[in-house]
Amino acid sequence: GNKPVIITTPGGQATVPGGYTYTTTNIYVTNFSSPGSVSVIDPGTNTLTATVPVGSSPTGVAITPDLTRAYVTNFGAGSVSVINTANNAVITTITGFSSPEGIAITPDGTKAYVTNASSANVRVINIPANTLGPTITIGGTPRFVAITPDGTRAYVTSQGTGTVSVINTTNDTVVTTINVSGSPFGIAITPDGTKAYVTRDGASSVQVINTAGNTLGPTITVGSNPDGIAITPDGTKAYVTNRSSNSVSVFNTATNAPITTITGLGTAPRGIAITADGTRAYVANNVSNNVRVIDTATDTLIGPAITVGSGPFGVAATPLPYPAP
């Protein structure tokens, strides 16, 4: 059964279902406009501790459940860099992609799903061998991907067709396609797996999908050109970056009602990630070339801006152990 787990993070400790004791890893930020780099932030001090050279135009980033590797999609290079989180060195580069952008890793750590924006498909990476698996045709312009906590489904946004494709991760086939319209971009799934939240970049809103039947739920109004989205580990709040509004919208996931709008972040916030204990959210400001930290208890900014590389885009923090790997 599920055993209590103590997660040690800068904000204290939290008990969640799972099977491991988790210590928060560094925060990884992809710098799209830099000459191919990832900035590494120590969440204990909120300082930049390393800059890791990767391929050109890095976009997405995901950390394995065992916390030993960070996988980075290099949009311009058509590759994925694998970083050893112990020493922040690239240990291998996987080629064979076409404009790879979004990436998500299954809870058991055996597969990574990578969206290929220019070739309308998703490519599977077998972990830890880092060999390429099936190519799954999606259509449109696939952007980002999220995997259900039980690992059985991957949800992929396709901006060009206004759809979300649902992949069965057992046989890597598309089981259904959901029309959400509004130029879907970012996606996040609640810790209980019941709802997927999709940012609609062209509609200034978030679309709710009920995963049980893959039916559409409410549409939530947020700021202008919403891109990134992250949900707290307890599943109670969602945070959405509004690229053109220079803000983060916060809403209650039980009622889908707005809680607050956080401003003063910087210019063009895009990627966002929340620490495993849920106390901090890290926001990449694409034009300001920095990262801001949000205290999720008060929904206020804390500390100064953390300067990173040029064009910060994606952000990854410690994944949650749902279920225990």
Integer Cα distance of 309 and 286 in angstroms: 10
- Specify the length of the chain in residues: 325
Token pair 């928060």 in the structure block, residue = 24
State in Å, rounded, how far the first CA of the chain is from the last one: 13
Integer Cα distance of 296 and 288 in angstroms: 22
pLDDT digits (tens, 9 = 90+) for 58-112: 999 999 998 999 999 999 999 999 999 999 999 999 999 999 999 999 999 999 9
User: The tokens of 83 are what?
Assistant: 């970083």
Q: Considering all CA atoms of the chain, what is the largest pairwise distance in Å, rounded to the nearest integer?
A: 46
Give yes or no for a contact between 107 and 92, defined as CB atoms under 8 angstroms apart: no
Give yes or no for a contact between 48 and 40, defined as CB atoms under 8 angstroms apart: yes
Torsion from C-alpha of 258, 281, 62, 72, nearest 10 degrees: 110
For 234, the 3-state DSSP assignment is coil
Integer Cα distance of 295 and 282 in angstroms: 9
Residue 180 burial (C-beta neighbours within 10 Å; 0-12, 13-18, 19+): buried
Whether 173 shows a pLDDT value over 70: the answer reads yes
The radius of gyration computed from the CA coordinates of the chain, to the nearest angstrom, equals: 17
Mean pLDDT of 105-134: 97
Whether 320 shows a pLDDT value over 70: the answer reads no
How does DSSP classify residue 24?
Answer: -
- Kindly give, in sequence order, each residue whose CB lies less than 8 Å from that of residue 255, ignoring residues fewer than 6 positions away: none
Predicted local confidence at residue 321, as pLDDT: 54
Predicted local confidence at residue 312, as pLDDT: 98
Predicted local confidence at residue 170, as pLDDT: 97
Integer Cα distance of 320 and 50 in angstroms: 24
Torsion from C-alpha of 184, 28, 285, 282, nearest 10 degrees: 90
Beta bridge partners of residue 54, listed in sequence order: none
Q: Of 250, 232, 233, which is closest to residue 241 (Cα–Cα)?
A: 250
Mean pLDDT of 115-133: 97
Query: How many CB atoms within 10 Å of residue 122?
Result: 27
pLDDT digits (tens, 9 = 90+) for 131-156: 999 999 998 999 999 999 999 999 99
Mean pLDDT of 12-40: 72
Integer Cα distance of 218 and 229 in angstroms: 16
